[in-house]
Amino acid sequence: MRPYGNSPKTKSIILMLGSALFFAFMTAFVKKAGDLPFMEKALFRNLISFLIAFSVLQVKRQTLWGKRENRKILILRGLVGSLGILLYFYSIDRLIIADASMLNKLSSFFVIVFARILLKNRIRLFQLTALILALAGSALIIKPGFQFSSTGPAVICALSAVAAGLAYTLVSYLGGREDSYTIVFYFSLISTVICLPVLLVNPVLPSPAQALFLLGAGITAAGGQFLLTSAYRYAPAGEVSIYQYSQIVFASLLGIVFFSERPDLYSLIGYGLIFAGGYYIFHKAKTRNP
């Protein structure tokens, strides 16, 4: 009998926790890069993913461009994913990183909505309940008001989750049709093409320290993505996806250590509601697929 510690599910949980830690560090590195344009930060983040995906596809001797019938969806996924990254990076500089990370995690709930619209998946009552909890939690984090300086970045971060939710839904559609590295290649290439012209018009040379933080953001983003992909190979998403929320714990600790950030009471309650919605979906998926 195989020890529990070596079980596929345990490996998946460890990989998921590692992925969450990497993504938390990515967020911290982006913020530590300081007053550089957010599009420059996004360029560095995606350029490393582009180089990795390109190299792997070359080694595997696979076409870069995927199947002809999937190219429109690949391009759409790249455009929507790029929009999500740009909105998220804009908000990171203006929010505490725990708030930004939690609002970005709303993407998993928007997947439910877009899967219904695009893939005709049925929305079940427990999913609707979880979605309402998540929206209530996000309202407490956003704290709607009339001053853009406080509310605007939080709304923009929530919109990044909407874009990410649509992008993940398109990835789900492409999952059985295209190699994961082809999907990453399109996304990172399109993001680079979008960001590069803006930087050529108004380039800002990073300091050595800023360049290191940008490099760290790119490496941790790529590492987090690959660990996440590996985690889903060992266990179904419904059984381990809840561990993605550990990113909020890691982000909160990094925010305290590096930025002296502390979420307020409303944000903490909002975290609890969003986590409760995520746990409810996790619990129902587990009981439906024991």
Q: Note the pLDDT tens digit of each residue in 111-168.
A: 888 888 888 888 888 888 988 988 888 888 887 654 555 688 889 999 999 998 898 8
Selected residue with higher pLDDT from 230 and 67? 67
- Look at residue 264 and give its three-state secondary structure: coil
The predicted structure's pLDDT at residue 191: 92
Q: What would the pLDDT profile of 109-126 be if each residue is shown by its tens digit? A: 888 888 888 888 888 888
Angle between helices 148-174 and 125-142 (to 10 degrees): 150
The predicted structure's pLDDT at residue 247: 86
- Look at residue 107 and give its three-state secondary structure: helix
Cα angle vertex 114, ends 177, 274, to 5°? 115
2, pLDDT greater than 50: no
45, pLDDT greater than 80: yes
The predicted structure's pLDDT at residue 238: 57
Domain ranges of the chain: 4-288
53, pLDDT greater than 50: yes
Q: What would the pLDDT profile of 172-218 be if each residue is shown by its tens digit? A: 788 778 888 888 899 999 999 998 887 788 778 899 999 999 999 99
User: If you average pLDDT over residues 61-67, what whole number do you get?
Assistant: 87
pTM for the whole structure = 0.85
Q: Which amino acid is at 55?
A: S
The predicted structure's pLDDT at residue 6: 63
The predicted structure's pLDDT at residue 146: 45
Closest C-alpha among 255, 280, 277 to residue 135: 277
Selected residue with higher pLDDT from 103 and 229? 103
CA distances to 19, 22, 24, 49 from 228, rounded to whole Å, are: 6, 10, 13, 14
Return d(Cα 188, Cα 225) in angstroms, integer: 12
DSSP conformational letter for 49? H
Average pLDDT, the chain: 85
The predicted structure's pLDDT at residue 290: 53
104, pLDDT greater than 50: yes
Selected residue with higher pLDDT from 290 and 82? 82
The predicted structure's pLDDT at residue 288: 61
Percentage of the chain with pLDDT > 70? Answer: 90
User: If you average pLDDT over residues 68-84, what whole number do you get?
Assistant: 93
Return d(Cα 244, Cα 221) in angstroms, integer: 14
- Please provide residue 41's backbone torsions phi and psi, each rounded to the nearest 5 degrees: -65, -40
